[in-house]
Amino acid sequence: MHYVFQFNVVWDNWRILTDGAVATVEMSVAAFALGLAVAMLCAWLRGFRSFAVRGVVRCYVEIVRNTPLLVQLFIIYFSLPGLGVRMEAEDAAVLGLGLNFGGYATEILRSGVEAVPYSQIEAATALGLSRLRIFRHVILNPAIRICYPAMASQFILILLSSSIVSAISADELTSEVNTLQSTTFRPFEFYFAATAIYLALALAFRFGLDGLFWLAFERGRPRLGQGRSRRRPA
């Protein structure tokens, strides 16, 4: 092995790397917010009696979940201008990531909503609550608790998969690194550094989001399941 690693050039560009990391996080948060809004809309539409409305939601979910994110981004950024819809690469990236996450989030919300016993909805109806209030108080609140862990995992998946929006030239960490490696001819060092940054971000968010869940839902509860026998013999 004759290769000499040179990480100095990576340190010299730390400013660009941190800017890229910030852009990645901002893009992921925006996409998460968009996807969550879409998913709530879909979850609400799913309760409709109309076959057509439910069919549209089902189609959206299945198309998003059974085609690659990269191709979805291509369609939004390269195909939509043919219909007169043009946007910046960054906006296309947020839209693509958001709509992609929205499909998965719709399913996550459904599992949360289905976890609410129907008798509770009947009870709320009997108390004269409106459809919207039943949705908000009886279905949504307990659903959030059930959905939170899956949503937190999805956020980290968005963070990681956002690296492929560099393929439509949207500015974030991976595209910054692509530029840096092509001007310095140090691809391995820069991709290594970028991978380390993503790893640090993913672990930090994992830790932070798990901590938040504990603060919001678990703190002060009696600990169940303590002393349960391990499934594996010692």
Minimum distance from residue 212 beta carbon to other proteins (Å): 18
The nearer residue to other proteins, 219 or 228, going by C-beta atoms, is 228
| CB-based burial label for 221 (10 Å; 0-12, 13-18, 19+) | exposed
Q: Is 101 helix (H, G, I), strand (E, B) or coil?
A: helix
Nearest distance in Å: CB 6, other proteins: 12
CA distance 38 to 52: 18
Can you tell me the distance from the alpha carbon of 212 to that of 70, in angstroms, rounded to the nearest whole number?
31
Query: Any idea of the CA torsion for 75, 80, 85, 90, to the nearest 10 degrees?
Result: 20
Question: Between residues 7 and 216, which has the closer beta carbon with respect to other proteins?
Answer: 7
Q: Shortest approach of other proteins to residue 164 CB, angstroms? A: 5
| Least distance CB 149 / other proteins (angstroms) | 15
- Least distance to other proteins from the beta carbon of 140, Å? 25
- Residue 132 or residue 234: which is nearer to other proteins going by CB? 234
Residue 165: CB partners within 8 Å, gap ≥ 6? 27, 73, 89, 93, 96, 97, 172, 174, 175
**Binding positions for other proteins, rule: CB under 8 A:** 1-3, 62-63, 65-72, 74-75, 78-79, 81-83, 156, 160-164, 166-167, 174, 187-188, 191-192, 194-195, 198-199, 202-203, 206, 229-234
Residue 94 or 159: which CB sits closer to other proteins?
159
Q: How many beta carbons lie within 10 A of that of residue 165, not counting itself?
A: 27
| Shortest Cβ 5–other proteins spacing (Å) | 8
Q: Which is nearer to other proteins, 58 or 131 (CB)?
A: 58
| Residue placing its CB nearer to other proteins in the complex, 42 or 162 | 162
Q: Are 99 and 38 in contact (CB under 8 A)?
A: yes
Other CB atoms within 10 A of residue 147 CB:
22
